[in-house]
Amino acid sequence: MEDRPTAPLVPLMLDRERHLRLTLAALARYKKQIGKPLFSLFDEIGKLADDPKAATDIPETEIATAIWAMAVHEDPALTVEQVMEEVDFRNLDVVIGKITEAIGGEKAAATVKRVNGQDPLAAPATLIGSASGASPATTSESELPSSTN
């Protein structure tokens, strides 16, 4: 039997433990509901490294839809409204951290910025510093994650 790579499951406690999984299906679900790619939300989350108060600028429906899109695989009855009822300001930082982890964390941040035409070396160290273990000032283009296979 051939091993096939799968997206990791990221546990998130809501009404019960849910598991976020970033798949093509999750990306398509999010885009169908919101009208833009899930990675646009990741760009907004990335701004939190510079300004933690920016969390209030991220639309609540986008956060809830991202969670729903990545968690509905294990519970088809789950709704965006249910997710919105479970997330509040007491657990928002944890939720945003779990979304970031499911998307791919710091390595994904550098890749998304490069794909979007931004210079990943200009990103805050908290976003790309641990992707290669090097600081942004010493990271060369060849050390950055590749978007090609």
Residue 97 resides in a domain: yes
Tell me, yes or no, whether 73 lies in a domain: yes
For residue 59, is it within any domain?
Answer: yes
Q: Quick check: is 114 in a domain?
A: yes
Domain assignment present for 86: yes
Q: Are 38 and 24 in contact (CB under 8 A)?
A: no
Give the gyration radius of the chain's Cα atoms: 16
Tens digit of each residue's pLDDT, the chain (149 residues): 556 667 789 999 999 999 999 999 999 999 999 999 988 887 777 776 667 666 566 788 999 999 999 999 999 999 999 999 999 888 888 888 898 888 876 555 455 455 555 544 443 333 333 333 333 333 334 444 444 44
pLDDT at 2: 58
Q: Is residue 3 a part of any domain in this protein? A: no
Check the CA dihedral 71-73-77-79 and report its sign: positive
* Tally of domains within the chain: 1
Euclidean distance between CA atoms 24 and 22, whole angstroms: 7
pTM: 0.65
104: amino acid identity, one letter: G
**4 in any annotated domain:** no
pLDDT at residue 122, rounded to an integer:
43
Q: What are phi and psi of 114, to 5 degrees?
A: -65, -45
Range of the domain at 57: 10-143
Per-residue model confidence (pLDDT) at position 146: 43
Q: Is residue 137 part of a domain?
A: yes
For residue 144, what are the CA distances in angstroms to 13, 27, 46?
A: 32, 23, 17
